[in-house]
Amino acid sequence: MKTRIFLLVAALLAFVCGYARAAERTAPPNIVLIFIDDMGYGDIGPFGSTKNRTPQLDRMAREGMKFTSFYAAPVCSVSRAQVMTGCYGARVSIPGVFPPGSAHGINKDEHTVAELMKTQGYATMCIGKWHLGDQPPFLPTRHGFDHYFGLPYSNDMMKKAKINGQLVVPLVRDEQVIELLTNDAQNRIVERYTEEAVKFITQSKGKPFFLYLPHTAVHTPVHPGAAFAGKSANGRFGDWVEEVDWSVGRVLNTLRELKLDRNTLVMFSSDNGPWLIKGADGGSAGPLRGGKGTTWEGGVREPTLAWWPGKVASGSVCAAVAGNIDFLPTFVKLAGGTVPTDKKIDGKDISPLLFGQTKESPHEARYYYHGYKLQAVRVGPWKLAIAPQSEGRKKGDEMVPASLDKPRLYNLDADIGERNDVAAAHPDVVSRLKALALKMAADIGDGQPGPGVRPAGLVENPVTLYPTEDGPKRKGAAKKKSPPAAKNAKPVSHDALKIGDALDGEAAPQVANRLITITCEVEPKSPDGVIVAHGGKAVGYSLYLKSGRLMFTVRAGKEPTSIAASETPTGRFSVEAALAAGGQMRLAINGKEVATGKNAGLLHRQPQERFCVGFDDAVPVADYGRASKFEGVIEHLKVTAGVP
């Protein structure tokens, strides 16, 4: 009898243990995505940094996989849109960066990775920088995340709070502003994000979870915590990199302590390259050329690691081309779900790369978009540049010329720094990559949105998340009177700008609800080309040549208003374009009025796109015809933004 009972108990235990092992094998994995802001390819130990100590990331690389050709986007909102939707930013009409109080953001109709993970029973949380719109319909909790804690945009987008007159950024929990952080208060931001991450992992250990941890670090202004300030050999930037490394270690150690490590995939990457213009606070691209805001390798190739003990081989390296557009299809596949087919995405499932089942990229090609402009394409080791590129080292950086007719070709395996143009030696490769570029341009577009582009989200009457003195007002706030300025404000000279230069944010002309006058001298060498452009398909203005005629377009809604000169002289001539009170438009050549018209009014808000000289790099304000790049001379450029 005792023997039979013993055998029965032994069999039962064996069954339970076997069932538990089988359940462990089939349980959907937890997924953690740690996403750093403005970290360069050369900023951490696994990718060659000797300035910054990163022992936790070094260990992560030893225990996991290093991706050496992993791509993001030139700037942050675009990159984050790619993570969330699995699409190139241009496909979902997110070509640039959203400022506070923007009317645009991620569209509610897009399938986000968080939504798709949630349908598989996952607990979801976003902790950190969101930057896909700060209006309620755009916040993380409206796009698949159960909870949110963090800054809704970059830490340098500070505005004066009406309550105290201080420059602050809002710290948000779910959809409520819980604190207004001054510069000094940002010193604890990595620590606070890490505490929230550990708390979420601990509370969610009983079910599968998806944690998206997009750090504010290491974006400027740089704010290392007290425990790290002054401790590195690389100044305050190195201090913050080392605090990020500590944070990664806390997350990985929490998974180990809770015995979740063998069923959790952790990915580490960055949104774009280092902000080289910031000098010592801007980071390093290591051996790569260029930085943030560019489509050179240094602007978009990111230091990326994958860690999953028992699943991802220790010390492995993947050289196949992959990118953050691949996160969505990969995570959804691992969670046991399927990606809906009602909307085209660009990402591919890279789990075969993670598990060492292949060394081949699932992508036909990698496309390098800057705004809506396709600037380069990569296949295998070959990268073809088909548009002018800046290195992003300083304002007004000289553009390195390229075009579809005269492209540059690099073999990235032999020339990772993109210094040796070998186009002349490989005409067959050039031809093959050109064909792929034209194929993608026919889908997403090249300079103008193509038929495969879907709209961004849009709200009417956007407001800032907290009452400010210098930004969009909250509903119900009293209108602030215009300052007692002269009707004709002092012109701002942009004569130092060259063709190919662009101004962002506050450096661009501030034209919301202002009278606009543009003056310059031009000497065109082509009948088509943009002189200046500022804005996109919602709001903006553009002065340009089309089929030999000087034109001025203003857009303050879906339909633009354009006026054109009946005749335009050859050679050198002066130009004046104006948007006056009541929306009156005027165009003059050599001091003589040549065209007038009327728009619906002044521009009701500041364009979110860059102010561009000689080109239009985002959603074009107007239809430029055959060519958008100006060939010739633009001099003595001035823009006046006057109070009505």
Tens-place pLDDT, residues 41-54: 999 999 999 999 99
22-31, 466-475, 494-503, 582-591: least confidently modelled range: 466-475
Residue 106 lies in a domain: yes
> Of 37, 43, 104, 41, which is closest to residue 75 (Cα–Cα)?
37
Query: How do beta strands 176-181 and 104-105 pair?
Result: unpaired
17-21, 84-88, 146-150, 321-325: least confidently modelled range: 17-21
Task: Answer yes or no: is pLDDT of 329 > 60.
Answer: yes
Provide mean pLDDT across the span 277-297.
96
246 φ, ψ to 5°?
A: -60, -45
Buried b (16+ CB within 10 A) or exposed e, 104-136: bbbbeebbbbbbbbbebebbbbbbbbbbbbbbe
Residues 502 and 638 in one domain: yes
Provide mean pLDDT across the span 9-32.
61
Distances (CA, A) of 427 to 232, 323, 407, 506: 48, 28, 11, 44
Q: What is the pLDDT of residues 476-491, one digit of tens each?
A: 333 333 333 334 455 6
Count of domains observed in the chain: 2
Provide mean pLDDT across the span 97-109.
94
Residue 295 lies in a domain: yes
* Residue ranges making up the domain that contains 614: 481-642
Q: Tokens representing 477?
A: 């706030």
pLDDT of residue 537: 75
Q: One-letter amino acid identity for 65?
A: M
Contact 32, 253 (CB under 8 A): no
Task: Answer yes or no: is pLDDT of 558 > 70.
Answer: no
What is the Cα–Cα distance from 102 to 100, expressed in whole angstroms? 6
Question: Residue 175's CB: how many other CB atoms inside 10 A?
Answer: 12
Mean pLDDT of the chain: 91
Residues 347 and 486 in one domain: no
pLDDT of residue 22: 46
pLDDT of residue 470: 59
Buried b (16+ CB within 10 A) or exposed e, 517-529: bbbbebebeebbb
Provide mean pLDDT across the span 210-231.
97
- Choose, from 87, 104, 126, 131, the residue flagged as catalytic: 131
Residues 636 and 506 in one domain: yes
Provide mean pLDDT across the span 583-601.
92
* Domain CATH code at residue 628: 2.60.120.200
Residues 107 and 239 in one domain: yes
Reported confidence tier of residue 475, pLDDT bands at 50, 70, 90: very low
pLDDT of residue 277: 93
CA neighbours closer than 13 Å in the CB half-sphere of residue 313: 13
Residues 346 and 485 in one domain: no
- End position of a domain, from candidates 359, 390, 425: 359
Highest mean pLDDT among 160-169, 345-354, 519-528, 537-546: 345-354
pLDDT of residue 556: 80
> Of 610, 624, 401, 404, which is closest to residue 529 (Cα–Cα)?
624
79-93, 247-261, 496-510: least confidently modelled range: 496-510
Residue 388 lies in a domain: no
**Which of 455 and 22 is assigned the larger pLDDT?**
455
Residues for the chain: how many in total?
644
Provide mean pLDDT across the span 176-205.
97
Task: Answer yes or no: is pLDDT of 23 > 50.
Answer: no
Residue 503 lies in a domain: yes
* Domain CATH code at residue 350: 3.40.720.10
Residue 469 lies in a domain: no
Task: Answer yes or no: is pLDDT of 520 > 80.
Answer: yes
pLDDT of residue 482: 34
Task: Answer yes or no: is pLDDT of 96 > 60.
Answer: yes
The residue with tokens 């000689």 is 614
Residue 292 lies in a domain: yes
* 101 φψ region: left (φ > 0), alpha (ψ -120 to 50), beta (else): left
Task: Answer yes or no: is pLDDT of 133 > 80.
Answer: yes
Provide mean pLDDT across the span 347-363.
98
Catalytic residue list contains 126? no
Residues 344 and 211 in one domain: yes
Residue 387 lies in a domain: no
The residue with tokens 């002066």 is 574
What is the Cα–Cα distance from 539 to 556, expressed in whole angstroms? 4
Percent of the chain with pLDDT over 90: 78
Highest mean pLDDT among 88-92, 566-570, 636-640: 88-92
Catalytic residue list contains 76? yes
pLDDT of residue 25: 52
Provide mean pLDDT across the span 618-623.
78
pLDDT of residue 325: 98
Task: Answer yes or no: is pLDDT of 435 > 90.
Answer: yes
What 8-state DSSP symbol labels residue 400? B
Q: Tokens representing 210?
A: 């998806």
Residues 355 and 485 in one domain: no
Contact 125, 33 (CB under 8 A): no
Provide mean pLDDT across the span 136-149.
98
Q: Tokens representing 183?
A: 């510069």
- End position of a domain, from candidates 342, 359, 376: 359
CA 481 to chain centre: 35
pLDDT of residue 392: 84
What 8-state DSSP symbol labels residue 72? -
What is the Cα–Cα distance from 172 to 363, expressed in whole angstroms? 37
- End position of a domain, from candidates 359, 391, 416: 359
Provide mean pLDDT across the span 122-132.
98
pLDDT of residue 643: 74
What is the Cα–Cα distance from 544 to 394, expressed in whole angstroms? 26
110-119, 275-284, 505-514, 583-592: least confidently modelled range: 505-514
What is the Cα–Cα distance from 625 to 403, expressed in whole angstroms? 17
Residue 230 lies in a domain: yes
